Structure 1
Amino acid sequence: MALKRGFFLIVGLCSLVLGLLGILLPVLPTVPFILLAAYCFARSSDRLYLWLMNHPWFADALKNWQAQGAIRKSLKRKAYIVSSLSFLVSIAVVPLIWVKVMLACFGTGLIIYLRSIPEIED
């Protein structure tokens, strides 16, 4: 049992770090990593799970996702704006055309994924 808890703790911590990096880096998706961290912490550490579920940045989105499988409309709008801007800046800065195309494909995929997430009215 300790091995299983340790595994979930390590995966949760790695997911949390990747999710936090995803706030700054356009290629890393923040939400899936934070959701995975919450899932792992629920199975490994009550203290970290409660910290994440009560964190001012993530609590609302996590609770909405947990209860309804959806996110607030305003959060979705912010995700569209921040993702689009970060991908556009990255595309403008990168000199290699194949990287520009790859970033454009990732950005398009992310927008399609965001559109598929159910919304909650604010």
Structure 2
Amino acid sequence: MIKKNIFIILGVISLIFGTVGIVIPLLPTTPFYLLSAYFFSKSSEKFHKFLLNNKVCGGYIRDYHERKGITLKNKINVLVLLTLSIGVSMLRIKNLHLQIFLGLIFICVSFHILKIRTLR
């Protein structure tokens, strides 16, 4: 029972971080959502179903967990949003070290997204 409650709390926390990550480029959304799905699968069928059936993120999570990849359309969407969010951040930040850091994050995340198997 204690383990179940801890997993629910961790699932909610990672879901919050993932949601915040939608608007903050340095905070990754997808890993936190996948972590939430894992915690909910081990603790609450209700929360797990809610996450998997969510019209905004459920399809991404199901594809990644069940089919071990993401569709080409979703890859393109992710890369466009990543480019826009990091690009705007780099333009607004005047510190060269932070711009370089954001550039490295962009390269690493883009590489990871491109490396994931493309579903048909």
* Band the TM-score falls in, shorter-chain normalisation: over 0.9
Amino acid aligned to 2:69: A
Structure 1 residue 35: Cα displacement: 0.7
Partner of 2:114: 115
Partner of 2:6: 7
1:24 aligns with 2:23: yes
Moved more, 86-95 or 56-65: 56-65
Structure 1 residue 77: Cα displacement: 0.4
Structure 1 residue 79: Cα displacement: 0.4
Structure 1 residue 70: Cα displacement: 0.4
Unaligned runs of 5+ in 1: none
Matches within 5 A, 1:1-122: 2-121=1-120
Structure 1 residue 30: Cα displacement: 1.1
Tell me the TM-score normalized by structure 2.
0.95
How far apart, CA to CA, are the structure 1 residues paired with 2:93 and 2:12?
Answer: 30
Q: What are the superposed Cα offsets for residues 94-113 of structure 1, whole Å, 9 maximum, x if unpaired?
A: 11111111111111111111
Structure 1 residue 10: Cα displacement: 1.3
Amino acid aligned to 2:61: L
Q: What are the superposed Cα offsets for residues 20-68 of structure 1, whole Å, 9 maximum, x if unpaired?
A: 1111111111111111101001111111111111110122112211221
Q: Which consecutive aligned stretches of 4+ in structure 1 deviate over 3 angstroms post-superposition?
A: none
Secondary structure of 2:26 counterpart: coil
Tell me the TM-score normalized by structure 1.
0.94
Length, aligned pairs only: 120
Unaligned runs of 5+ in 2: none
How far apart, CA to CA, are the structure 2 residues paired with 1:9 and 1:64?
Answer: 22
